[in-house]
């Protein structure tokens, strides 16, 4: 018995601070949040009563929330497609062998070192929607290059606006996805490539049938990381446009309801966001768990 405690005691003691902190500040607060979302606490006053799923039903039937979900979907699709495409192409080009690879790697990775808020301030100016004489940012560049027809309202466009907001995010995170893919390319053993060449595979066939198939676990990780970042996007939008209707996503809507003291509604939005994020993360965790079990 005494021996047993000596075995599991110290490790447990070591991880207990983490367990405590996570328990209180993550899972405890998630529970508290869900509790608030089932009450009618729509003001500062603490009195409230249980209303079940009323807040969820009201929110899901609300045009404004559906609009923010649409914006989020638009942003996520463009953001994921953009980062995966650029990240993959860059990694492939680097893998094919270029001179000064280190320089390119750094150039592509550096944007990730900047916070969304800082780059948001710059992109706010770049994506200014004024055209013609008062144009600035990208529209000014188009104008002075004689490409005036390319000028557009960017995030001011009614439907495609969120795609413009995704541009800074793509610019920042493509380098990160590139790094992931590059690690994947480098992880493919040299012998496999040599064997394929011995068998007479062309360069394209070598990549298509030997290298790319081994990248799918990397692609999945990249997808999960990028998509959960996309669901939580808040700082970028706040610094490019502020919290306005045209670019509203659930996270900025949450902020508006929180600052106007509607606690139940903001807790409801937060819970829905959490559920959306778990749609991506739980399958990933299950898949990782299965593959680890298989390797054991």
Partner 1 sequence: MRKRRLSIIAGAALAGLALAGCSPAAESADDGNANQVEVFTWWASGSEKVGLDALVSVFDEQYPDVDFNNAAVAGGAGSNAKAALASRLEASNPPDTFQAHAGAELTDYIAAGQLQDLSSFYEENGLNEAFPATLIDQLTSDGKIYSVPSNIHRANVTWVNIDVLESAGIDPAVAPADMDAWIADLTTLKDSGVETPLSLGTEWTQMQLLENVLIADLGAEGYTGLWDGTTPWDGPGVATAVDHYSQLLDFVNSDYVGLDWDAATQLVLDGNAGYNVMGDWAEAAFVQAGQTYGTEYTTWATPGTEGIFDFLADSFTLPEGAPHEAAAIDWLTTISSAEGQKAFNIAKGSIPARTDAVASDYPAYQQTALKSFSEDTVVSSLAHGAAAAASWSADLSSAIGKFGSDRDSDALIAVMVSAASSALG
Looking at 20, 57, 60, 73, which residue binds partner 1 (CB under 8 A)?
20
Q: Give the integer Cα–Cα distance in Å for 200 and 55.
A: 63
**Does residue 245 interact with partner 1 by CB under 8 A?**
yes
CB-nearer residue toward partner 1: 128 or 230: 128
CB-nearer residue toward partner 1: 64 or 186: 64
**Does residue 6 interact with partner 1 by CB under 8 A?**
yes
**Does residue 153 interact with partner 1 by CB under 8 A?**
yes
**Contacting range for partner 1; rule: CB under 8 A; set: 7-15, 97-105, 195-203, 226-234:** 7-15
Tell me the angle at which helices 263-295 and 29-37 cross, rounded to the nearest 10 degrees: 130
Question: Between 97 and 136, how does the x/- string for binding to partner 1 read (CB under 8 A)?
Answer: ---------------------------x--xxxxxxxx--
**Does residue 43 interact with partner 1 by CB under 8 A?**
yes
Helices (H) and strands (E) in the chain, counts: 14, 0
CB-nearer residue toward partner 1: 11 or 97: 11
What DSSP letter does each residue of 82-141 carry, written as one string? HHHHHHHHHHHHHHT--TTHHHHHHHHHGGGGS-HHHHHHHHHHHT----GGG--HHHHH
Looking at 147, 244, 282, 285, which residue binds partner 1 (CB under 8 A)?
244
**Does residue 261 interact with partner 1 by CB under 8 A?**
yes
Residues, the chain: 296
What DSSP letter does each residue of 34-88 carry, written as one string? HHHHTB---SS-----B-TTHHHHHHHT-HHHHHHHHHHHHHHHHHHHHHHHHHH
Binding residues vs partner 1 (CB under 8 A): 6, 9-11, 13-14, 16-17, 20-21, 42-46, 64, 67, 124, 127-134, 153, 155-156, 158, 241-242, 244-246, 248, 256-262
């Amino acid at each position: 018995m005494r021996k047993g405690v000596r075995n599991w005691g110290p490790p447990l003691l070591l991880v207990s601070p983490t367990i405590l902190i996570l328990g209180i500040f993550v899972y405890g607060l998630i529970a508290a949040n869900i509790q608030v979302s089932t009450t009618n606490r729509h003001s500062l006053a603490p009195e409230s009563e249980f209303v079940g799923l009323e807040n969820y039903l009201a929110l899901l039937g609300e045009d404004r929330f559906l609009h923010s979900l649409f914006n989020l979907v638009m942003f996520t699709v463009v953001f994921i497609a953009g980062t995966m495409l650029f990240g993959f192409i860059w990694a492939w080009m680097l893998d094919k062998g270029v001179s000064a690879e280190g320089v390119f790697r750094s150039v592509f990775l550096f944007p990730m070192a900047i916070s969304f808020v800082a780059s948001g301030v710059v992109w706010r100016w770049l994506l200014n929607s004024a055209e013609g004489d008062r144009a600035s940012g990208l529209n000014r560049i188009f104008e002075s290059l004689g490409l005036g027809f390319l000028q557009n309202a960017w995030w001011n466009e009614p439907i495609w606006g969120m795609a413009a907001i995704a541009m800074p995010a793509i610019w920042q995170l493509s380098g990160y996805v590139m790094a992931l893919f590059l690690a994947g390319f480098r992880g493919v053993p040299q012998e496999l490539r040599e064997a394929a060449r011995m068998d007479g595979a062309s360069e394209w066939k070598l990549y298509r049938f030997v290298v790319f198939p081994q990248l799918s676990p990397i692609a999945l990780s990249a997808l999960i990381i990028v998509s959960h970042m996309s669901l939580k996007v808040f700082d970028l939008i706040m610094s490019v446009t502020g919290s306005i209707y045209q670019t509203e996503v659930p996270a900025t809507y949450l902020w508006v309801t929180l600052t106007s003291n509607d606690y139940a509604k903001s807790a409801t939005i937060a819970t829905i966001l959490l559920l959306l994020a778990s749609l991506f993360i739980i399958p990933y965790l299950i898949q990782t768990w299965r593959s680890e079990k298989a390797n054991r």
